C-alpha cells in the first residue's frame, strides 16, 4: 500500500493510504475528540464530535470517516473547529441526564472527559432529556436511556460482534432511541447478557447490575460465612481499574484486598476450572469411545462454561442443545461444592454460607440466578460481582490496591493449575482439555504442553491433535458469538468436521468479558492474554489432572469423574429459551 | 400558458397515459429507439452535450454521472429512479408520472443501456401510492410490447423495471438512504465511501437519478441535445420543471426555459398574488431551500444567477408566501417539518433541530431570550457544517436566510413591528393586476394548509 503525504496542523506526515484523519492525527500527537469511534469497531460517524477543517472543503469533515489524500491539509485546532466540536458536545449534554456524581461511570466516562477537555461550564441550551423507562429487571444489566448519546457502539457490539441482534435503533428524530425491538425489557428478548454493550458504552447508559450492597450486607451479617472465588481473567484485569499497567498480574493483591474487604475465605476459581476439565475431558472421551464402538454419540461436543454462550444457544440454536457438554461452569461447580462439600468440611449449614464470585462477566449474574443452579437445597452462588464492582468495593474501602502486599488463596479451593488459569483466554479450555485428555488416553506424559494453534484473538481457530496412535482429535475454538454462529450453522447443516468445539461468548474469551474494566480494547485483550499464558508458564502444575487438591476431592468425596456425585452436583441440563 | 414550454412535457395531454398504443402513436419511445442504435459511449456523449444537470437538487452533470457509472466495472448494475419527491411544495415529478409515465420508463431504459444495467427500480414515495397502478400498468404494457424486458425491440439489450414504494420518510430522498430503505432497513444515510455508484443497492453498482432527469434524458434523445439547448442560458441549458405553489393564483407544475426571472414566473405563470395581498417571501427548492425577499424577484431562474443571489434551484419548488403568514410562522412550520423528518442518526441534526425549534417557538410566542438569536445562528451553522447528510446540512437554510433578509423580525421587542417593517419593504410587489389575466381565485391555500396535508 502506498504512502500518502498530508499535513495536520501544518505538520507534514506520511501515512498509509486508507488511513483516516483521526488515526493520522494520532501520529502527530493530536487526539481528535471522538465518541462513536471505537478502535475495534466499524466507523459510524454519527456523533460528529470529531469534525475538523480540511482545506478546500465547504463544510467540516468527520475525522473518523474521512480518509487521507495526497496533499490534504487538515486543521484540528482552529476557532471554528473548537466552536463546532464544543457546540456538538453541548447538544449531547442537553439530552443527557447529568446526574454524574451518582453515576457508575463517574470519573470513567468518555462524555465527562470531553466536558472537562472543552471546559464546559454553562450552555445556552435547554435540557431536553427524553428517556425510556429504566430497564433494570434482569439480573445482569441496567439500561438507562437518559444517559444514552446514541453513538451506536452498543448496537454494533450486539449486532455485528455478537450477532445477537437485540439492541437496535428505533424511531427517528427526537424519538430516536436505542433499545430492543418494541422497547421490551432485556429479559423478554433473546439478550444473552454478555455485557459487550456495557463494555463499549462511552457513558453510563448501559452498566452492570450493581450487587455490591448485597455483598457488603452479607459481609456485615455475623450469621453468614462469606466466601469468595476469583475467576482466572479477573487477576489480569483488575489492576486496570487502579492505574496499573494493562495486563499486569495482580493475583496476590486481589486475594489480599478481598481479605481486607472482610471475606472469610478467599478461593480460586482456577480450582474448579481444573475440576471442569476433569469432568469435561472425561465426557468427551466417553463420547469418543462410543464413536470407536460404532455407536453414534452427539458430536461435536461443545463447551458450556460461558454463560453468554449458553444463553445464546438456548435462544437461537436450541435444536443443538445435545451438543453441549453437561458440565456446569467453573463458577457453578464452585458454588455447588461450597454448599455441599465445603459445608460438610466446615460443619456449616449450606444456608449459612454466602458464596460470592468475582467474574469478568455480566452473564454470570444471570447464570447464578438460574433456578436449576441450586445445590444442598440452596442457591449455589449467592452474588456475582464483576471485576468493575470489585474495583468499586476496593475503592470505597480505601484500600490502596497498588500498594497492598500480596497474599495467597485459602484451602481447600486454593490451588489452580496453569490449565485452569488459561480458561480466561479463548482457546484456553481446549488447551487445558487436550493436556488432560492426552494423558488420560495414552497414559503417557505430554511433553509439549502448548497448543499454540488455538491461542490468539482470531475469531475461529482450529487444530488437529493426535492422541495416541489411533485418535486424531479435530477441535475448533470460537470467540465472539458471531463466530459461534458460523460453527453452529455448520453443525446444523451436518458439515461440522470437529469432535470438540470451545466457545466463549466474548471476544478474546473471558479476559474480554462484559464485566471487565471499561476500555478493554483488543490491544488490552492481547496484554491480558499474554499475562494468562505467563501465569500458566510459571505454574509448577500445568495440568488439571495433576492438581493435588482436585485429586484429593475425588478420592475423599466425589469418587470419579462423571460419577454419581459429579452428575448430581457438577452437571446440568439446558432449556430452549423459546422464540 | 404564457412563457411555459413543452420539451420534457411534449407528450402531456396528447395521449392517454394508461394506453401505450396512444403514446406510440405520437412517437413514444422515440428516444429509446434512437438510443439503441447508438453505442453507450455515443449516447452518453449526447447527454453530456446537452449540459443537463441532475434535477433532484444536487445539479451534478448527468453526462458525467452516467460516464462514471458506465466506467464502474461489473455487469450487474442497477438504475434507480428516485421518485421520493419529498420536498414540501414540490410535485413536478408526480405530474410527470401522472401525465407521461412512458417517458420515465423510456429514460430509465436509456440510462440502463448507457451504464450497462439490466435492472431498474422506481422508488415511489409512500404518499404517491395512488400512482402505483398507473405506473405498474405502464410497465406491464411496455414489457408486453418489448419496450422493457428481455431483448428490447429485438436487440441484445434487456432491461426491466420493478416498482418499489417507500414508507414515508423524507430523508429517503437522499440516495444512500433510499437504498437502505429498499434493502428493508431503516431510512438512515450510509457512510461514504463506498459510493453508491460502486456499491449501492444490494452492493451492486448503482445509478440513482431523479424522475425529471430521466424523463428529460429520454426527451433529449428523442428531440436532440441541440433542441434542448435552444432553451435556457449557456450555463443553465434547457428547460426545467418547476412546482409553483403557495399564495399565487395559478399554482401548478410548469415547464419553463431557464432564464425567466422569479417575478415573471410568479406573475405571468402563477398569475400573481391575490388582489390586495403583499408578497412576504419566496422559498426556492422546498423546505430545505433558502428564502428570498421581494427585492430578489428580478433574479433570473438559472443555476448561476440564483447562486449569486444566495439561492438554489434545488427541487424546483417555488413557494410564494403572502402577508397572511409571518416570517416566524413560516419558519416554525419549516422547523416542525425537520423535527419530524430528521432520521436521528447524527447529533447536530437530531438535537439541533429540536433546540432550534424551541427557540423559534419562543420567537413565535413573542418572548425570545436575549441570546436566542445568537444561539439559533450558532447551532444552525453547526448543523450545516457538521451534519451527517444533506438533510441536516440544509435544514436551517430557511432560518439562516431569514436572519439575513429579515433581521427586523428577530429584533428583541420588535416582534410584530418587525414583520410590518418587512412588509413595507416588500410593498412594491403587491399583486399587480397587470400580471393576472383572469381574476381566478385559485391558490388560496396558505402554507399552513400544506402542513395540514402533510400531517
- Cross-chain CB nearest to A169 (options B186, B375, B384): B186
- Cross-chain CB nearest to A94 (options B346, B355, B381): B355
Smallest CA-to-CA distance from B174 within B343, B383, B385, B356 is with B343
Q: Using an 8 Å CB-CB cutoff, list chain A residues near B344.
A: 150, 169, 171-176
CATH number belonging to domain A3-93: 3.10.20.740
Structure pTM? 0.92
Average pLDDT over residues A136-162: 97
CATH number belonging to domain A125-207: 3.30.70.20
**Alpha carbon of residue B131 to chain centroid:** 18
Strand-pair partners of A473:
A465
Q: Above 50 in pLDDT, residue A289?
A: yes
In chain B, list all ranges with CATH 3.10.20.600: 235-455
Q: Hey, are the CB atoms on A46 and B339 less than 8 Å from each other?
A: no
Q: Per-residue b/e over A383-399, b at no fewer than 16 CB within 10 Å?
A: bbbbbbbbbbbbeeeeb
Smallest CA-to-CA distance from A132 within A206, A31, A210 is with A206
Query: What was the pLDDT predicted at B440?
Result: 29
Q: Above 70 in pLDDT, residue A441?
A: yes
| Residue A280 bears catalytic tag | yes
Contacting A with CB below 8 Å, chain B residues are 169, 171, 186-188, 191, 193, 339-348, 350-355, 358, 371, 374-375, 378-379, 381-382, 384-388, 393
Q: Hey, are the CB atoms on B375 and A124 less than 8 Å from each other?
A: yes
User: Do residues A205 and A145 lie in contact, with contact meaning Cβ atoms separated by under 8 Å?
Assistant: yes
Query: What was the pLDDT predicted at A123?
Result: 78
Average pLDDT over residues A562-569: 96
d(CA A227, CA A353) in angstroms, rounded, equals: 7
- Provide the phi-psi class of A29: left if phi over 0, else alpha when psi is between -120 and 50, else beta: left
Q: Which three cell numbers stand for residue A212?
A: 455490591
Q: Which residue in chain A is spatially nearest to B192 when comparing CA positions?
A: A65
Q: Hey, are the CB atoms on B342 and A172 less than 8 Å from each other?
A: yes
d(CA A408, CA A270) in angstroms, rounded, equals: 13
d(CA A469, CA A487) in angstroms, rounded, equals: 28
Tell me the per-residue pLDDT of A151-196, one tens digit each, with 9 for 90 and over.
999 999 999 999 999 999 999 999 999 999 999 999 999 999 999 9
d(CA B40, CA A120) in angstroms, rounded, equals: 58
Q: What is the ipTM of this complex?
A: 0.92
- Domain B20-229, architecture per CATH: 3-Layer(aba) Sandwich (3.40)
**Alpha carbon of residue A260 to chain centroid:** 26
Query: What was the pLDDT predicted at A95?
Result: 95
Smallest CA-to-CA distance from A426 within A506, A332, A508, A546 is with A508
Q: Hey, are the CB atoms on A174 and B186 less than 8 Å from each other?
A: no
Chain A 39-68, CB below 8 Å of chain B: which residues? 43-49, 51, 59-60, 62, 65, 67
Smallest CA-to-CA distance from A428 within A233, A261, A578, A211 is with A233
Assign A122 a pLDDT band (cuts: 50, 70, 90).
confident
| Residue A506 bears catalytic tag | no
Q: Hey, are the CB atoms on A149 and B388 less than 8 Å from each other?
A: no
Q: Where are the domains of chain A?
A: 3-93, 125-207, 277-328+416-512+537-570
In chain B, list all ranges with CATH 3.40.50.11540: 20-229
Of the CATH numbers 3.40.50.720, 1.25.40.10, 3.90.1720.10, 3.10.20.600, which one belongs to the domain with range B235-455? 3.10.20.600
Homologous superfamily, domain A277-328+416-512+537-570: Fe-only Hydrogenase (Larger Subunit); Chain L, domain 3 (3.40.950.10)
Calculate helix-pair angle for A251-261, A387-396, nearest 10 degrees: 60
Q: Above 70 in pLDDT, residue A399?
A: yes
Q: Hey, are the CB atoms on B351 and A95 less than 8 Å from each other?
A: yes
Tell me the per-residue pLDDT of A292-332, one tens digit each, with 9 for 90 and over.
899 999 999 999 999 999 999 999 999 999 999 999 999 99
Query: What was the pLDDT predicted at B441?
Result: 31
Q: Phi then psi for A566, rounded to 5 degrees? A: -55, -50
Query: What was the pLDDT predicted at A407?
Result: 98
d(CA B283, CA B291) in angstroms, rounded, equals: 4
Smallest CA-to-CA distance from B50 within B110, B1, B129, B130 is with B110
Instruction: Identify the active-site residue in A156, A367, A380, A502.
Output: A367
d(CA A254, CA A260) in angstroms, rounded, equals: 10
Low-confidence ranges of chain B (pLDDT < 70): 1-2, 412-455
Amino acid at each position: 500500500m502506498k504512502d500518502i503525504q498530508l499535513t495536520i496542523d501544518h505538520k507534514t506526515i506520511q501515512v498509509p493510504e486508507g488511513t483516516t484523519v483521526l488515526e493520522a492525527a494520532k501520529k502527530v500527537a493530536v487526539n481528535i475528540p471522538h465518541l462513536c469511534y471505537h478502535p475495534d469497531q466499524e466507523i459510524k460517524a454519527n456523533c460528529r464530535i470529531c469534525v475538523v477543517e480540511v482545506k478546500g472543503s465547504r463544510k467540516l469533515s468527520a475525522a473518523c470517516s474521512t480518509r487521507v489524500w495526497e496533499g490534504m491539509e487538515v486543521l484540528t485546532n482552529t476557532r471554528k473547529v473548537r466552536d463546532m466540536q464544543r457546540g456538538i458536545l453541548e447538544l449531547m449534554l442537553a439530552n443527557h441526564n447529568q446526574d454524574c456524581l451518582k453515576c457508575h461511570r463517574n470519573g470513567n466516562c468518555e462524555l465527562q472527559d470531553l466536558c472537562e477537555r472543552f471546559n464546559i461550564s454553562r450552555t445556552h441550551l435547554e435540557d431536553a432529556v427524553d428517556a425510556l423507562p429504566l430497564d433494570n429487571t434482569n439480573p445482569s444489566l441496567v439500561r438507562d436511556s437518559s444517559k444514552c448519546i446514541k453513538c451506536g457502539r452498543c448496537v454494533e457490539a450486539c449486532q455485528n460482534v455478537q450477532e445477537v441482534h437485540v439492541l437496535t435503533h428505533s424511531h427517528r428524530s427526537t424519538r430516536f432511541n436505542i433499545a430492543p425491538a418494541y422497547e421490551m425489557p432485556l429479559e423478554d428478548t433473546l439478550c444473552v447478557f454478555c455485557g459487550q454493550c456495557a463494555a463499549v458504552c462511552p457513558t453510563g447508559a448501559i452498566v452492570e447490575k450493581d450487587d455490591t450492597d448485597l455483598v457488603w450486607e452479607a459481609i456485615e451479617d455475623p450469621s453468614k460465612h462469606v466466601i469468595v472465588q476469583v475467576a482466572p481473567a479477573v487477576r489480569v484485569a483488575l489492576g486496570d481499574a487502579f492505574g496499573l499497567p494493562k495486563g499486569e498480574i495482580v493475583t496476590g493483591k486481589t486475594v489480599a484486598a478481598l481479605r481486607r474487604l472482610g471475606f472469610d475465605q478467599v478461593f480460586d476459581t482456577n480450582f474448579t476450572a481444573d475440576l471442569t476439565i476433569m469432568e469435561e475431558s472425561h465426557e468427551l472421551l466417553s463420547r469418543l469411545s462410543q464413536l470407536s464402538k460404532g455407536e453414534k454419540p452427539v458430536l461435536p461436543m461443545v463447551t458450556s462454561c460461558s454463560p453468554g454462550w449458553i444463553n445464546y444457544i438456548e435462544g437461537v440454536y436450541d435444536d443443538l442443545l445435545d451438543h453441549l457438554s453437561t458440565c456446569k461452569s467453573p463458577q457453578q461447580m464452585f458454588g455447588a461444592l461450597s454448599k455441599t462439600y465445603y459445608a460438610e468440611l466446615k460443619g456449616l449449614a449450606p444456608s449459612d454460607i454466602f458464596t460470592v464470585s468475582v467474574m469478568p462477566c455480566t452473564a454470570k449474574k444471570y447464570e447464578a440466578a438460574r433456578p436449576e443452579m441450586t445445590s444442598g437445597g440452596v442457591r449455589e452462588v449467592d452474588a456475582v460481582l464483576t471485576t468493575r464492582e470489585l474495583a468499586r468495593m476496593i475503592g470505597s474501602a480505601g484500600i490502596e490496591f497498588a500498594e497492598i502486599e500480596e497474599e495467597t488463596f485459602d484451602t481447600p479451593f486454593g490451588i489452580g493449575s496453569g490449565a485452569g488459569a488459561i480458561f480466561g483466554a479463548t482457546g484456553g479450555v481446549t488447551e487445558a482439555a487436550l493436556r488432560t485428555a492426552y494423558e488420560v488416553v495414552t497414559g503417557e506424559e505430554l511433553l509439549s504442553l502448548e497448543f499454540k494453534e488455538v491461542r490468539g484473538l482470531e475469531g475461529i481457530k482450529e487444530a488437529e491433535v493426535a492422541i495416541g496412535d489411533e485418535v486424531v482429535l479435530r477441535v475448533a475454538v470460537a470467540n465472539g458469538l458471531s463466530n459461534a454462529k458460523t460453527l453452529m450453522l455448520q453443525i446444523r447443516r451436518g458439515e461440522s468436521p470437529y469432535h470438540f468445539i470451545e466457545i466463549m461468548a466474548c471476544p478474546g474469551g473471558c479476559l474480554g468479558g462484559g464485566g471487565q474494566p471499561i476500555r478493554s480494547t483488543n490491544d488490552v485483550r492481547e496484554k491480558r492474554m499474554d499475562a494468562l499464558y505467563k501465569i500458566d508458564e510459571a505454574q509448577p502444575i500445568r495440568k488439571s489432572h495433576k492438581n493435588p487438591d482436585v485429586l484429593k476431592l475425588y478420592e475423599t468425596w466425589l469418587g470419579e469423574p462423571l460419577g454419581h456425585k459429579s452428575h448430581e452436583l457438577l452437571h446440568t441440563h439446558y432449556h430452549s429459551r423459546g422464540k | 400558458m404564457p412563457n411555459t414550454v413543452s420539451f420534457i412535457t411534449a407528450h402531456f395531454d396528447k395521449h392517454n397515459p394508461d394506453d401505450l398504443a396512444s403514446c406510440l402513436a405520437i412517437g413514444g419511445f422515440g428516444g429509446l429507439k434512437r438510443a439503441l442504435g447508438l453505442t453507450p459511449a455515443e449516447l452518453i456523449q449526447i447527454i453530456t452535450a446537452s449540459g443537463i444537470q441532475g434535477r433532484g437538487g444536487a445539479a451534478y452533470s448527468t453526462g458525467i454521472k452516467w460516464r462514471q457509472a458506465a466506467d464502474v466495472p461489473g455487469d450487474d448494475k442497477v438504475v434507480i429512479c428516485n421518485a421520493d419527491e419529498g420536498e414540501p411544495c414540490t410535485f413536478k415529478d408526480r405530474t410527470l408520472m401522472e401525465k407521461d409515465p412512458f417517458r420515465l420508463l423510456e429514460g430509465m431504459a436509456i440510462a440502463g443501456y448507457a451504464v450497462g444495467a439490466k435492472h431498474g427500480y422506481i422508488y415511489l414515495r409512500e404518499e404517491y401510492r395512488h400512482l402505483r397502478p398507473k405506473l405498474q400498468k405502464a410497465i406491464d404494457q411496455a414489457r408486453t410490447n418489448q419496450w422493457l424486458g428481455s431483448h428490447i425491440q429485438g436487440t441484445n439489450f434487456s432491461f426491466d423495471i420493478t416498482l418499489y414504494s417507500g414508507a414515508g420518510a423524507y430523508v429517503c430522498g437522499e440516495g444512500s438512504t433510499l437504498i437502505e430503505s429498499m434493502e428493508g432497513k431503516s431510512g438512515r444515510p450510509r457512510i461514504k465511501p463506498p459510493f453508491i455508484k460502486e456499491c449501492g443497492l444490494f452492493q451492486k453498482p448503482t445509478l440513482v437519478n431523479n424522475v425529471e432527469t430521466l424523463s428529460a434524458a429520454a426527451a433529449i434523445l428523442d428531440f436532440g441535445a441541440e433542441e434542448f439547448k435552444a432553451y435556457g442560458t449557456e450555463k443553465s441549458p434547457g428547460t426545467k420543471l418547476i412546482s409553483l405553489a403557495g399564495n399565487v393564483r395559478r399554482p401548478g407544475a410548469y415547464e419553463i426555459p431557464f432564464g425567466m426571472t422569479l417575478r415573471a414566473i410568479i406573475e405571468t405563470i402563477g398569475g400573481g398574488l391575490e388582489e390586495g395581498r403583499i408578497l412576504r417571501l419566496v422559498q426556492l427548492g422546498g423546505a430545505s431551500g433558502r428564502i428570498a425577499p421581494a427585492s430578489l424577484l428580478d433574479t433570473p431562474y438559472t443555476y448561476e444567477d440564483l447562486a449569486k443571489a444566495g439561492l438554489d434551484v434545488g427541487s424546483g419548488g417555488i413557494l410564494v408566501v403572502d402577508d397572511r403568514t409571518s416570517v416566524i410562522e413560516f419558519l416554525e412550520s419549516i422547523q416542525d417539518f425537520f423535527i419530524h423528518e430528521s432520521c436521528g442518526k447524527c447529533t447536530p441534526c437530531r438535537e439541533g433541530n429540536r433546540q432550534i425549534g424551541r427557540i423559534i417557538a419562543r420567537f413565535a410566542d413573542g418572548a425570545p431570550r436575549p441570546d436566542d438569536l445568537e444561539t439559533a445562528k450558532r447551532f444552525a451553522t453547526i448543523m450545516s457544517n457538521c451534519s451527517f447528510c444533506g438533510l441536516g446540512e440544509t435544514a436551517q437554510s430557511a432560518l439562516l436566510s431569514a436572519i439575513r433578509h429579515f433581521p427586523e423580525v428577530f429584533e428583541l421587542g420588535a416582534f410584530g413591528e418587525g414583520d410590518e417593517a418587512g412588509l413595507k419593504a416588500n410593498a412594491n410587489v403587491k399583486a399587480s393586476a397587470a400580471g393576472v389575466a383572469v381574476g381566478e381565485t385559485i391558490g388560496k391555500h396558505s402554507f399552513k394548509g400544506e402542513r395540514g396535508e402533510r400531517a
